[in-house]
Each structure stands twice: as C-alpha cells, then as structure tokens.
Amino acid sequence: MKKKNILFWAKALNPVILLIYGIACFYLVSLAQYGGVKRRVPVILGCVLFLFLWFFWCIYNRIKQSRLEKAQGDHTLPIGDDPIAEDRIKRNKIWLIMACVIFLTTSLFTGINLYKSGTAFQGKLSWFIHDLKNKREIKFVHNNLYEDHLEGIFQDIEKKVSLPEELYVSSDFTLKFKKDGKITSFDTYLYGKDKKGKTQSFLLSYNEKKSDKITLYLRGYVKDEFDEKQKLQPLKDMVKRISIKEKISPWNEETYGLLYRGLRSWGYNHEGIYYVNGEGNITPAEPPQEEIIGYTLSIYAPGKEDVLTPLRFIDTSAEGLSFSKEKSKEEKPSWDVGYHYNEGEETFFLDENLGYQLSIVDAALGSRFYALLKTQDGGTTWDTINPDPYLGDTGVSAGITFIDEDLGFIALSHSGGDNGELYRTEDGGTSYKKVSIPSIEVPLTEEKKYNPFDYPEMPYEENGILYLLIGQGQDGDYNGGIKALYQSKDDGKTWEYVEEIS
C-alpha cells in the first residue's frame, strides 16, 4: 500500500501540476501586492479549477482501480518482486521528495509575501484589510442643507455608526451645495470620546459625482487632546439659526461653499463679518475696538471670493462669546524662525509670522497621512492649504523647509527610515511634485553595482545655488555612512551630482 501511495502522489504532483500551482501562487502574490482583479483573478481561478479537476480525477481513478483489483482478486505480481517496478518506485520516490520540497517552498514564499502585502500598507491587500475593518459606506438621504441642516449628515451616519455626543474638528469642515440647498460634496476629520471614554476618529467624505454614499473611515490617528477651539457644535447650531438660502440669494450663483475651522481670529478686519446670537438674530460687525475672535462659519462662492466677499458668521451665543473673550486674553504662541519638531509633526517658520506645518491626519502600522497647514499670524491660527502634500503616499515625514514664500521642499521616509523621497513646491505648498534625482552607482561586488544614496535631506541655499545632501538611511553601510552632495541651479527642478562627503 505504501508503494502505491508513492506512485499515486508522484503522479499527482507531476511537474506540470507544480508549474500550474506556481503560476497560481505568483498571480496571487501579485494580486495582493498590486491589485488588478480583472487581469489576475481569471488566471488564479483557472489554475485552481484545473488543479481541483486534476486531483478529483486522480482520486476517482485510484478508487476505481482499487475496486477493479479487488474484483479481479490478487493475481498480479507484487511490486517488490518485480525489478522493473522496484526501480520505478525508487525514481518516483525521489521525485516525490523533490516535489514536496518545491511545493512547500512555493507555499512558504507565497505565505510570506501575502503576509507582507497585508501589513503596514505595503501592498493592495493591506488596503483591502484596512478598508474592511475601518471603512463604512452610508446612503446619503438627508442631503438638503436648507431642510436637514448639518444634522441630516449625522442622522444618516448614526444609522451605521455611533457618534460621540461632543465632536471636534481635526481638519477643516468643507462643504459644497447647490442653489436649491442640495449638498454635492463635503470633507472633514472629526474626533471625540465614546461612552467608554475612548477617543474615536471619523474621516468623512462625500462627492455626488463619485457615489451617492458617504464614505467614513474609523480608527484613524488623532491627538488625544480635546481643544475647545475645535468644537463642532457651534457650526451645527449656526447652520440651524441662519437662513442661508436668504443670505446668499443676492449672489444668484449655482454652487456655494461652506467652511468651518473652529475658533478663528479676524484681527480688526470686519468686512463680511456678521454676529449670530443664540436666537438667530444677525447683526453686521462694526469697526472693532478689539480683535475679532469667535467660532466662524464662512459661506462663499467658489472661485469668486475676490468678487463676492465671503459671508463670515461668528457665534455670539453664551458659549461662543465667553470662550472668544477668554481666547482674546491668551498670549499668542511664540515660534522661532526655522525648523521645529514636536510629537511627530514638523514645522518651519520663514519669519515670525509665516509658518508651515506637516500635520498628521491619520496613522496606522507605522505609516502616516499628512496635511500641510499654513499660518500668517505667528501660529495663532492655522489653515489647511494642501490636504495631501505627499500625493497619496504614506510613510513618516522626514523634513520640511522653505527657501522663500513660494519655493519649498518636504521629504517622506519609508521602511523605518531606510529610504525616502523628496517633494518640491513652487506655489507656497499648494501643490507638490516628486523630485527626480540622478542615481550614483558604486561597486557592490566585482560585477554588480548599486546606489546606496536613497535618503534625501533638506536642500539649502548658498550664493543663489541650492545644495542637497543624500544619505544612506538606517540600512546604509557604504563607506562609513558617507553622503552624496548634489547641486541645482534652477531652484531644485533638476539636480547634478557633485561629490561624496563625510
């Protein structure tokens, strides 16, 4: 019986079957790493179906053969007494051992790569798992700002997800709506404490051009700080109190925008500012005697802000007014010119007023998402000028600098600081592009070469020329950790290798 088993499995695991199994594993790993369902899934399913039919036929044929032998009785020469058959057994046994090694090696390789693709956002599979755990899609029913106010959004969300009683905005609350009040899009990042006192986050987005559902991501990264300046409730209250339709009717535009950033300072500029009390009474602001501060709801006509002055409604209800007065007495934060690092967030100030900050908006498994913030009042207020400066890439920020108000650079590191990428802006951070840097190859062996320089630092300027040092990252060991020096004479658009420096 043992010898028959050897013959059976040697036949079942023949080279063609192992090749088909290897193809299926290769396409499975590629699917987990890069996606491509339409291209790869048919191949995988075809291979699996073929393997299933093959093993089904092998088992069926063996059962049929066993029954035939029993029906005929034992009239055959035992395999052990047949020299030719014995030699065949030995050859099949050797092949079976080889086949098992190939099968196990292929399976182990596949398993390891599937595991890698499913962790730390290193492959398409990890995104699928992340979405499965954290992504929710909710039918948007109460989508009229005039009739449902903002409560309609949260009413729909709470059909699937429980929200904290008190919510805070971690990033801007932006919303677009039509003349008839229909909401066409919105984005925001909220957080708050649930009933158990645990901090929960909610990344919300909706765009009617893409879907009729609200997309919600849970369990993102937020600082465990509940800043009263970032309360969401004043926004919800003001949308209820203000007759938005009436206020924007003179503009007669097709599309309007709504913006909320929590408590804001407007200095002494009262243009377009209105005060809203708890009863919904609205009064225009007069030339102030002190700084204008308050929870502010801004309504504007997208793309026409220079022509149509945005309407800025400031909450003067008991809560909003008292906190505004308290805030006006606080000292402004002090920042030194240059680079700052605090709790994973990097900041750069060009002067005492103008600064930029890479703010973490989400994080998971060692990778982070960032938004670029800008301040023009020394850090008292910050505005989001780029919600995704790294163009969808994740990692850990590895530097920020600005040469002037327009030209600046940021870097993103990967794999725990083993390598990184440099990004350049020439419009003050509104948009970024990856910087292409010529690689320098050094000998690895007598025959092979490689580029050890893969971790860019921040460019700096000397006599009108930009210089850039590129290190080797955490895994670099070439020539004692030496760095490559590059220079640029066109504001960082192109770079030229200069020399190696220690």
- Confidence tier at 74 by pLDDT (50, 70, 90): low
Whether the CB-CB separation of 292 and 266 falls below 8 Å is answered with yes
* Residue closest to 54 by CA, chosen among 25, 28, 20, 88: 20
> Distance (Å, rounded) from C-alpha 476 to C-alpha 482?
9
DSSP state string for 268-287: T--TTEEEE-TT--EEEPPS
pLDDT above 70 for 423: yes
333: alpha, beta or left, given left = phi > 0 and alpha = psi -120 to 50? beta
Q: Residue 333: what pLDDT?
A: 59
For residue 332, the model assigns a pLDDT of: 52
Identity of residue 206: Y
pLDDT over 70 at 1, yes or no: no
- At residue 384, the pLDDT reads 85
pLDDT beyond 90 at 151: yes
Q: Tens digits of per-residue pLDDT, 22-40?
A: 999 999 999 998 888 899 9
| pLDDT recorded at residue 131 | 81
Look at residue 267 and give its three-state secondary structure.
strand
Quick check: 399 pLDDT over 80? yes
The larger pLDDT score, comparing residue 330 to residue 54, is at: 54
Backbone angles phi, psi at 192, to 5 degrees: 180, 175
The chain-wide mean pLDDT, for the chain, equals 87
Buried b (16+ CB within 10 A) or exposed e, 307-342: ebeebbbbbbbebbbebbeebeeeeeeebeeeebee
**pLDDT value, residue 441:** 83
**Mean predicted confidence (pLDDT) in 145-167:** 94
pLDDT for the residue 363: 62
How many other CB atoms sit within 10 Å of the CB of residue 144?
15
Low-confidence winner among 109-113, 221-225, 408-412 (lowest mean pLDDT) = 221-225
User: Tokens representing 348?
Assistant: 């750069």
pLDDT on residue 369: 80
Percent of the chain with pLDDT over 70: 91
Three-state SS for 294-324 is EEEEEEECCCCCCCCCCEEEEECCHHHHHHH
- What tens digit of pLDDT does each residue of 337-389 get? 899 987 778 999 999 899 999 988 766 555 678 889 999 988 888 888 998 89
Confidence tier at 84 by pLDDT (50, 70, 90)? low
Structure confidence at residue 79 (pLDDT) = 52
291 falls in which pLDDT band (50, 70, 90)?
confident
pLDDT number for residue 256: 96
pLDDT for 370 equals 87
Q: Where are the domains of the chain?
A: 2-117, 132-226, 241-328, 338-501
Other beta carbons less than 10 A from residue 114's beta carbon: 18
Radius of gyration of the chain (CA): 32
322 pLDDT more than 50? no
